[in-house]
Amino acid sequence: MATATVTSKGQITIPVQVRTALGVDAGDRIEFVEVEKGLFAIIPATHSVRELKGLFQDKRRKPVSIEEMNAVIGRRASRSR
């Protein structure tokens, strides 16, 4: 099992075997995601937001204009009052 020590500044050095398994290198970002109370997963955040383009695209839906979005938001907001 790989371990690391927290410094007085709250920093750690991620062991090489963990960095290799995550595919992260110097300058890459990682995220700490709480999967349950007190248990965190370390997720590499090395992908560009641009790589997500089209990931959630649904071919069956037509594009919605800003005006249509504003109209729906207005209707929903008036119902919630």
In which element (H, E) is residue 74 found? helix 66-79
Q: Per-residue pLDDT tens for 53-68?
A: 666 666 667 778 899 9
**pTM passes above 0.75:** no
Q: Which long-range contacts (CB under 8 A, 24 or more apart) does 7-12 make?
A: none
- pLDDT, tens digit (0-9, with 9 covering 90-100), for 7-36: 999 999 999 999 999 988 888 889 898 888
Q: Where are the domains of the chain?
A: 16-79
Mapped onto helix, strand or coil, the DSSP state of residue 36 is strand
The tokens of 10 are what? 């709250």
